[in-house]
Structure 1
Amino acid sequence: MGLLPLTYRRPPYVEKASLPDNDTSSGNGDEKGEPIRKTSTSSTSSKSGRSGTSNGIPPALGFDKILSGGTCPPCTIRDFMNYLLYIERSAENLQFLLWLRDYNKRFIEADTSDKALAFEWTHAMAEETLGRINRDHAEKARRAAKKGPVADIFKGTDFEKGVGVVQNTSVPDTNPFSTPPGTPQDGDPETSYNNAVSYRSQANDAIVAAGGKAPFTIQPFREEIDRVVTTYIMDGAPRQLNLSDREQKATLQALAYTTHPTAFRLVANTVETTLRGQSHLNFVRWSVCNGNPARVFFARALGVGLTATSTAVAVVLTLSHAPRGYRALAAIGWVLGIATLIAAHKGMCVVLHGLHHRHVRPWELFVNEEDPEDGVSKRSFDTFGTSNSYEDEPWVMRYQKRNIIRKIFDREIWIQEPALRQIQDTIFVQSMLCVLLLACLLTALFVAMPGGHFF
């Protein structure tokens, strides 16, 4: 496989998108039922992610290519999941998307009598629901703005919490030894969910709280939908998706009406846009790095040392009685040092690249020899489970105890994906061309200088 064009640039790093203010933000786009989340790269990244021909990603590493299993390590769907789990910490997006694609297939292939009870959630119904939610938000914002001046008068007094609201006349719990209920973020999410009465009751409570009615239990896949709600949609879910308040409420109201896959249209659009326009680009960019942080730091130090030493040699030769031609010897050190620095800046080690090797990831070092697929990585493909937390896994502590020298020379493995090797080769050639040009300029500068003849 040849090189990519010399004008190639690896995928840019995409920052996580921030959601607008759920209480006060509203716009024409929201009224029309368009996705709430908008980023500076959402429109272009989504298109480029689908075609795989821009943003520094070759077609062989396209989003759909990875999800369909058409790539080799370290760019497989398992590697993508590991990246989302351990690096980006947003594995729930891919977990939900994989479930939704499988659910859509199973729903279409289902041949049961109750399937007719799951009506399609049309675009008109979705727009009407979003419009109603937006009007509710606008009304709440209007009321908050109206009571604002009055609230400022009582700010800092005992009446502050009572302004504009009906006072609660119930007697509060004054037991000093009682423990207040923790938020879903406090403690272990698994404990709170194991103590719940049932997935259905949790899902029903979430739907009612979002303004929907209790769903029909006779619709197909209703039990599975309840688990999806309690795992991905509702507040405090162990794998709660990063949805805006409008997206969450609109989806819950849709699920109160039907179990048809179209009820997830809004969530699916948000999740897939995030995966295509952010996570996929960052994953390919991250995969280009072939060394761990310790090796990259070592490479940077080595590059600085070689560059500084070569410069010192050139200065000494220039100030001495040595012939001018000897000064050109410093170019060897400049080429090696600067090339090492540029490669380290992009997370690459030139030695590993020469072998087309990469360091084994920390979570890959300590695996069960009898079952290499065992561990968090395997469980991460389970649709339903606890939160995507790995801090308590044994490999974390074992890798932290690993000394720095051992990390620098960690186990290596061959890069199987041809497209990734092509990207690395192109970046290396680009770096070498820049280095050779810079080294030639420095060499010409020192050779042209008059000798100092000091020693």
Structure 2
Amino acid sequence: MGLLSLTYRRPTYVERPPSMDGDQVSIGSGSADGDKLSSIKSSTSSTIAGIPAALSFDRIIDGGTCPPCTTRDFMNYLIYIERSAENLQFFLWHRDYVQRFKEAKTSDIALAPEWTPAMEEETAARIQKEHADKIRKDIKTPAIAIFEGTDFEKTPSASPQAVVVNKDPFSTPPGTPDQRDQSADFAADAKQSSYRSQATDAFLAAGVKAPFTIQPFRHELDRVIATYLAPGAPRQLNLSDREQKAALHALAYTTHPSALRDVVRTVEATLRRQAHPNFIRWSICNGNPPRVLFARVLGAGLIVAGLVAAVLLTLSSRARGWRALAALGWVLGTATLVAAWKGMCVVLHGMHHRHVRPWELFLAEGAEEEVGKGSFESFGSANSYEEEPWVVKYEKRNVVRKVFDREVWIKEPALRQIQDTIFVQALLCGAVVGGVLVAVFVSVPRGGYF
């Protein structure tokens, strides 16, 4: 394969969408966070600058790439680097669910009608109206919050606007504002209660009745709600309160895959427009952070050595042509610095090698396929790796061993092509800097001091 254009630039780093706890951020709200999330959700099918077609999102998901750009590598990146693997796990589950639902031949499939776009818009408008009414109500009665939790709150003669205590023993108590504080309690309760009861609690919290259970795949969707949609779920998706409620309204009506249309749209947009370009940008780096730092120090050292040599030759009685020898240090040093700035080590690149990732480093020979194997399970605990054995082992590893960690060959041709292009760009930058400095030093008269 040839080189890409010499004007090639890596994919720009895309920040993660803002946290969507409650209704702090909403699409179209006019806030900076809202605009940022809107830009991620728009143009999901357009190409992204810096990513060749051979490394597109669809090609990676469909298994058309080689290491280190496979679906497994993408999943490991989301677990260990970006910490948002729940998006890809949910996306892969839904794609499989759509296929299984289409192939289902059972008679009860008619009990799960499609959730139409009209229903989706009607539900969104109703939730929006309820949210607006709640805000207006909160504005009208700001003084109530002062007496909340005191004896005045329950006193009948407090005021005409006093809060009426809910006497209904079957009503669902209001949730606490901070859902993150409930995550630990949720995980503990999940071990003692069924997915069905957790899903029922989520339905009631969203203001809808729990659906009847004879619909096809209802038990599986209960697990989906308990794993991805319920407040404090172990793999809770980054959805706004309105998106979460709309999804639960749809799931209360049907188990058809279209019930999760809006959730999948948000998840897929995040994967395509944020996680995927960041993954490609990260994959271009062939060295670990200690090795890249070492390359930067080496590059700076070569530049300084070239400057010292040029100054000494200028001050000596040697002919001016000798000063051109300093260009060797300037060209190599600048090229090494430019490549290291983009996360590449030119020595590793010369062999088309990369460092083995820390989570792969301590595996037995030939066990690479076991890395992150459990992460492809659709349901499970939170995506946490802090307790994995390699974490402590890698922290104890000294810096020298990290700099010279085990290496493997880069199999993906498109990634090697990107790295070749960056290497040539680095050499051209080094040649320009070296040429300019040589011209400056050669033009200076001889010192003749020694």
TM-score under structure 2 normalisation?
0.89
- Asked whether the equivalents of residues 333 and 430 of structure 2 are also in contact (C-alpha less than 8 Å), the reply is no
Partner SS for 2:181: coil
Question: Is 1:166 aligned with 2:163?
Answer: yes
Aligned to 1:100: 94
Partner SS for 1:11: coil
Aligned to 1:185: 183
Aligned pairs for 1:34-53 (under 5 A) are: 38-44=37-43, 46-49=44-47
Q: Which moved more, 1:366-375 or 1:200-209?
A: 366-375
Q: Cα offset for 1:260?
A: 0.2
Alpha-carbon displacement from aligned partner over 1:127-181 (angstroms, at most 9, x marks no partner): 0111011011111111222234x479x59997998996627599xxxxxxxxxx9
Aligned to 1:380: 375
Alpha-carbon displacement from aligned partner over 1:289-325 (angstroms, at most 9, x marks no partner): 0000110011111111111111121112112222111
Q: Cα offset for 1:186?
A: 3.6
| Partner residue of 2:78 out of 81, 84, 87 | 84
Give the percent of matched residue pairs that are identical in Structure 1 and Structure 2.
60
- Asked whether the equivalents of residues 286 and 354 of structure 2 are also in contact (C-alpha less than 8 Å), the reply is yes
Call closer, same or farther: CA 1:323–1:161 in 2, change over 3 Å: farther
Aligned to 2:203: 207
Distance 1:69 1:310 in 2: 47
Which amino acid in the other structure matches residue 99 of structure 1? Answer: W
Q: Cα offset for 1:433?
A: 1.1
Aligned to 2:58: 64
| Partner residue of 2:356 out of 349, 355, 360 | 360
- Asked whether the equivalents of residues 28 and 38 of structure 2 are also in contact (C-alpha less than 8 Å), the reply is no
Aligned to 2:416: 421
Aligned to 2:176: none
- Asked whether the equivalents of residues 291 and 358 of structure 1 are also in contact (C-alpha less than 8 Å), the reply is yes
Aligned to 1:2: 2
Call closer, same or farther: CA 1:29–1:198 in 2, change over 3 Å: same
Aligned pairs for 1:323-338 (under 5 A) are: 323-338=319-334
Distance 1:24 1:389 in 2: 26
Alpha-carbon displacement from aligned partner over 1:168-210 (angstroms, at most 9, x marks no partner): 599xxxxxxxxxx9933347x6443212x21001101101110
Alpha-carbon displacement from aligned partner over 1:99-125 (angstroms, at most 9, x marks no partner): 000000000000001100001000010
Call closer, same or farther: CA 1:120–1:329 in 2, change over 3 Å: same
Call closer, same or farther: CA 1:27–1:422 in 2, change over 3 Å: closer
Aligned to 1:238: 234
- Asked whether the equivalents of residues 202 and 230 of structure 2 are also in contact (C-alpha less than 8 Å), the reply is yes
Distance 1:190 1:367 in 2: 30
Call closer, same or farther: CA 1:20–1:78 in 2, change over 3 Å: closer
Question: Is 1:114 aligned with 2:108?
Answer: yes
- Asked whether the equivalents of residues 81 and 380 of structure 1 are also in contact (C-alpha less than 8 Å), the reply is yes
| Partner residue of 1:403 out of 378, 387, 398 | 398
Q: Cα offset for 1:20?
A: 6.6
Call closer, same or farther: CA 1:89–1:75 in 2, change over 3 Å: same
Cα RMSD (Å): 2.7
Aligned to 1:276: 272
Aligned to 1:315: 311
Q: Cα offset for 1:222?
A: 0.3
Distance 2:284 2:217 in 1: 42
Q: Cα offset for 1:430?
A: 1.2
Aligned pairs for 1:207-226 (under 5 A) are: 207-226=203-222
- Asked whether the equivalents of residues 151 and 160 of structure 1 are also in contact (C-alpha less than 8 Å), the reply is no
Which amino acid in the other structure matches residue 328 of structure 1? Answer: A
Q: Cα offset for 1:437?
A: 1.1
- Asked whether the equivalents of residues 310 and 323 of structure 2 are also in contact (C-alpha less than 8 Å), the reply is yes
Which amino acid in the other structure matches residue 6 of structure 1? Answer: L
Which amino acid in the other structure matches residue 360 of structure 2? Answer: E
Aligned to 1:342: 338
Partner SS for 2:243: helix
- Asked whether the equivalents of residues 134 and 246 of structure 1 are also in contact (C-alpha less than 8 Å), the reply is yes
Call closer, same or farther: CA 1:169–1:249 in 2, change over 3 Å: closer
5+ long unaligned stretches in structure 2: 168-178
Alpha-carbon displacement from aligned partner over 1:202-255 (angstroms, at most 9, x marks no partner): 101101110111111000000000000000011011000000000000001100
Distance 2:190 2:317 in 1: 80
Q: Which moved more, 1:302-311 or 1:68-77?
A: 302-311
- Asked whether the equivalents of residues 23 and 242 of structure 2 are also in contact (C-alpha less than 8 Å), the reply is no
Distance 1:25 1:161 in 2: 31
Q: Cα offset for 1:19?
A: 5.3
Aligned to 2:386: 391
Q: Which moved more, 1:240-249 or 1:208-217?
A: 208-217
- Asked whether the equivalents of residues 303 and 336 of structure 1 are also in contact (C-alpha less than 8 Å), the reply is yes
